[in-house]
Amino acid sequence: MNLFSVGISHHTASVDVRERMWLSADEAAGVLSALKEHFFAECMVVSTCNRTEVYGVLRDGDVDEGAVKRLLLDAKKADEGVRPDHFFTHHAGAAVHHLFKVAAGIDSMVIGDIQILNQVKEAFQSAGEHHVLGPIMNRLMQATLHVGKRVRTETTLCEGAVSVSYAAVELASKIFADLSRKWALLIGAGETGELTIKHLAGKGIGHIKIANRTRAKAEALVAELGGTVVDFEQIVDALRTVDIVVTSVNSPSYVVQPEHLYSVMRQRGNNPLFLIDIGVPRNINPASRKIENVFLYDMDSLNAIVDRNLEKRNAELPRVTTIIRQEMVEFFRWHRSLQVAPTIQDLHAAFEQVRQQEVEKNINRFRPEDRELVELVTRRIVNKLLHQPLSMLKEGSENGSGGPETINRVKVLRELFGIGIKSKRDE
């Protein structure tokens, strides 16, 4: 198989190196065109924040790996800081295996990455739009997307929050059945707090309030997500009207105390209040947990949830590996058939040509009423002669166990019978 892949990822390079190799849509289109022109019969490019990878079917059996890397470096003018050893290369089955792992989400920085399959799908679609796919890459695309789909439907690899911000939202979803009817307050617009409130917005939270010491940052976030800005000095009063509170304040002392919450809960009619403290140091006095219907989670609580979910995802790896192995068997069975089917057709054609030539030379030796029988008998002889070698070829191709042996059989048969080899008289 002339499949080849080369790339750079979080396994081989730091983020500053990966950033230099990231390809925009226009850059990827130019790279695809150049790769098709110089190296590949078919190809595609995947470029995300964690990887820039090329997959292609080589025109010839060999490739100048350095030249492919050079093309990528030139496309980004990234000589400085990007070295050849930042790249990986895979050939044939190893390239297929790597792509299947990427699509499955087990080659990502976070196991079970739910975004990468869509990114791979978009890469294939882009290659198709730029007319650089062919029969092998099209089949590889189908197999790759099937791997990703099976992993998501047959395993729990992608389930459970594996970030603090999403763990907080997952907890909120368990406490409140319908987030669309709930209000949330973000106190402090730090990075993790901002991510958490964005996840809540993505889950359809009913209304968002944001309080930050720097009001301009709160206003910018409200402009992006919608909602209301709250004066930082009014956060305790704001607790009365919300159901979920996310705190992410850089403060040496607690910004929410139990006495604040006792007063607020009486005004709320003791309706549940969900508090997510992701400040370091903590923003909410942990004694607040003792208050009825106050649910307080801090970084340790959320990290414990993340750790449990990561353990569950790791436990799914054997099942994912089995799916990848099964799909590789199917893909290579199909690929072997590409070599077997033409050989079967060519053998039939070669034997049939000899049969017809000999029958034509000798047909006048037979009575007219016997000539139809001659045709029948000679065809049966050809079929019997071909039965064993063709059965061996089909068996090796269909049962998935042929591998290199099947390829060698194809090669030997073609050489023995001169299939695809021009004689001097034909030239």
Residues marked as catalytic: 49
3 state SS of 22: coil
The one-letter amino acid code at 416 reads L
Alpha-carbon dihedral of residues 64, 65, 69, 71, nearest 10 degrees? Answer: 20
CB atoms under 10 Å from CB of 59, counted, come to: 14
Per-residue CA distances from 419 to 230, 342, 350, 381, 412 (Å): 81, 10, 8, 20, 10
Question: Strand 3-9's sheet: what is its strand order?
Answer: 40-47, 51-58, 3-9, 88-91
* Those residues with Cβ within 8 angstroms of residue 413's Cβ, 6 or more apart along the chain or in another chain: 343, 347, 389, 393, 419
Q: Which long-range contacts (CB under 8 A, 24 or more apart) does 171-174 make?
A: 171/274, 171/276, 171/297, 171/302, 171/305, 172/200, 172/203, 172/244, 172/274, 172/276, 173/203
Q: Token match 């750790």: residue?
A: 307
CA 110 to chain centroid: 12
